[in-house]
Amino acid sequence: MRQRRTGRGGGATMEDVAQVAGVSAMTVSRVLRQPELVNKDLRAKVEAAIRETGYIYNLVASSLASQRSGTIALILPTVASSIFSDSVKGVSDVCRERSVQMIMAETNYVPAEEERVIEALLRRRPDGFVIVGVSHTRATRDMLEKSGVPVVETWDATATPIDSLVSLSNFDAMQAMTQALVAEGYRRIAFVGTATRDHRALMRARGYEAGMAAAGLPIPDILAAGDVTSMGSGAAIAEEIMARGDRPEAVVFLNDVLAAGALLAFQRKGLRVPEDIAVAGFGGFDFARHLIPSLTTVDIPRQEIGRRAAQILLDRIEGKAPAGTLHAVGFEVALRESTRRVPR
């Protein structure tokens, strides 16, 4: 003869509520999930019993029984920077609207870490994944495909998505920015990217190169920032640029954070922006429009990317959308004071 395990987890269970209400556990479950199927009087009794017992529904048990966890996983390069926070907000808002819990993990821009992180999250049996980026290790793709979990990739473009894709062409966007600067009359345009092999960063660099090539312009050295999420490294790059002999007329940065750090560093050293050096960023962040001079950038619908990705994913999970959905979001080059062409 065995004794009861530990006397139970703690709080009331559905069974307890059922006893108090004088019904079966199944009826309690129905009251909670499909109240319209339950007789009104019984429903009231059950609801009273729930209050009386202080019952809190157990989603862990529910997940196991129903084989649906009611969670989606969000994989992003970093949680600490402002870069993805609007996209997180987009996903998070949709999740709340649709009563799903978002669980999040960061990869630090390292594919091997992404692999580890996705494997760890798979153990929690999320109903789907939203992933920032389209470049993954072979093992990551295999794992995801084998698991059969719906996936939406975002913030980048690819011809071979794992499943669905909220597509943003970093190449096109940075090419457009470069061409806009060329149209403004700039010729010696430098680019600041990153040394990490982040695919989105690479695509932006390529877009810049394509923009320069299309205009028949030579491409100066491409500089690499260390930490792409800090203004400090933008400032460090600015120092580097100022220390060189041949100062470019304009510098395009991988993102607005780096650009802002550099813009302020240039000014600190007495350079006038844009008269002495023009500065452009990428991302369309709030602070860009407030800076003096206001920062030219490529405006991206960051929150919308998160929203759309979550919507597509949840629709798919609920069977309301097919696999392999594609949705492209646009971008807009916002020319502002930091690149206003002025006579020299």
Partner DNA sequence: TTGAAAGCGCTAACAA
Partner DNA sequence: TTGTTAGCGCTTTCAA
Q: Which residues bind its own copies (CB under 8 A)?
A: 6, 9-11, 54, 56-61, 63-64, 67, 69, 79-82, 85-86, 88-89, 92, 96, 101-106, 119-125, 146-148, 230-232, 235, 260-261, 264-265, 267-268, 286-287, 290-292, 303
Interatomic CA distance for residues 326 and 161, integer angstroms: 9
Residues 6+ apart with CB under 8 A from 306: 86, 87, 88, 89, 90, 91, 92, 93, 94, 130, 154
Q: Would you give the binding string for DNA spanning residues 18-57, x where CB under 7 A is met?
A: -----xxxxx-xx-xx---xxx--x------------x-x
Q: How many CB atoms lie within 10 A of CB 183?
A: 12
Q: How many CB atoms lie within 10 A of CB 344?
A: 6
Nearer to DNA, 39 or 108 (CB): 39
State in angstroms the smallest separation of the CB of 121 from DNA: 15
Which residues within the stretch 274-313 sit at the binding site for DNA (CB under 7 A)? none
108 binds DNA (CB under 7 A): no
The option from DNA, its own copies, none interacting with 252 (CB < 5 to 8 A, set by class) reads: none
DSSP character at residue 260: H
DSSP character at residue 295: P
Nearer to its own copies, 19 or 78 (CB): 78
Figure out which of the listed residues 47, 48, 53, 58 binds DNA, where binding follows CB under 7 A. Answer: 58
Residue 188 φ/ψ, nearest 5 degrees: -85, 90
Q: Exposed/middle/buried for 287, CB within 10 Å: 0-12, 13-18, 19+?
A: middle
Which residues within the stretch 151-190 sit at the binding site for DNA (CB under 7 A)? none
99 binds DNA (CB under 7 A): no
Pairing of strands 297-299, 332-334: antiparallel
Query: Which positions lie near DNA, rule CB under 7 A?
Result: 2-6, 8-10, 13-15, 23-27, 29-30, 32-33, 37-39, 42, 55, 57-58, 61-62, 64-67
